[in-house]
Amino acid sequence: MQYRTLGQTGIKVSPYGLGALMFATRIGNPDPKDSARILHKALDAGINLVDTADAYEDSEEVVGRALAGRRDHVVLATKVGLPVGTDPNERGASRRWITTAVDGSLRRLQTDYIDIYQLQRPDPDTDMEETLSVMTDLVRSGKIRAFGTSMLPAANIVQTHWIAERRALLRPRTEQPAYSILNRGIERELLPIAQQYGMGILVWGPLAQGMLTGRVRRGQNTDVIRSRFNAVFGDQTRLDAVERLVLLADEAGLPLTHLAMAFATAHPGVTSALLGARTMVHLDDLLNGIDTVLSDDVLDRIDEIVAPGTEAGALDQAYMPPALTHTALRRRPLDERAAA
């Protein structure tokens, strides 16, 4: 295993990390003991990065129990920010919530520190200075070793670093965006900006929500686990790209999953790609391709299918800023429009 330095933190992580969303017993693997076996096999193979979130139902608890006796050799990452209850204050990036949420994550993970604590989504209702301030306090108290962001647009990354510098606060050391052959938008601005600021990049969705597993093809039904993504699987642009990628993988003598994971880790700005194995079969397949290196010719062919910096169709979990989701932010009031 060739470990990589996570930005400028000095922390060494494996090029593949283990995403633990599928360890949630209701939406993923219903057997926590089986999830523990999957986690242990990943660790035995040299993977040392495990990523979860407080919003992943009982995933943190499953991970915490599974890591008993092995915690010190794992780079443990979790996230905060998405709603975890009906209380309107049980979410977001305020000091009030983060100071409560971190203690809950520490308890569920059965640890006294978190290596990487990440803001799962931007919070437009909270001043970034407040978030940086509480994160700085958590680092200095020893509860977390470093902190980062997820799905933060490039412009906001610049703003965040500017605030940290002006206010003498610690800055985010990592960013966790979506990235796959089908979703290359971060190559345009985010990855260059993150590299400029020395941030480590942990990408999620390298298999494009299952579309790059080889099991999703034109004219075929999706499996039960992925049925909630039917709108994405029905995107003809994505399906067209997948068909061409299947042919390319065959020509290269690779399973499509190995092609997809190797692509995600080939970019110099990417530190680690998170694989979400729900079963041991899924993990074994991905581990078998961990040494795959794509040639320049194969990477050039991928560029022809999905051009650098572009998206092949829509990603249903992509972050949409308020300027796009709230009509009031992009339409003048009716009386003003009528007066004009």
> Which of 274, 270, 299, 301 lies closest to 286 in space, CA to CA?
274
SS3 content of the chain, % helix, strand, coil (to 5): 45, 15, 45
Place of tokens 């998170």: 274
> Which of 197, 156, 177, 188 is CA-nearest to residue 307?
188
How far are the Cα atoms of 17, 89, 114, 215, 243 from residue 20, in angstroms, in the given order? Answer: 10, 25, 15, 21, 29
What region, left, alpha or beta, does residue 36 occupy, with left being phi > 0 and alpha being psi -120 to 50 degrees? Answer: alpha
Active site residues: 56
Lookup result for tokens 């209701």: 26
Phi, psi of 127 (to 5 degrees): -65, 130
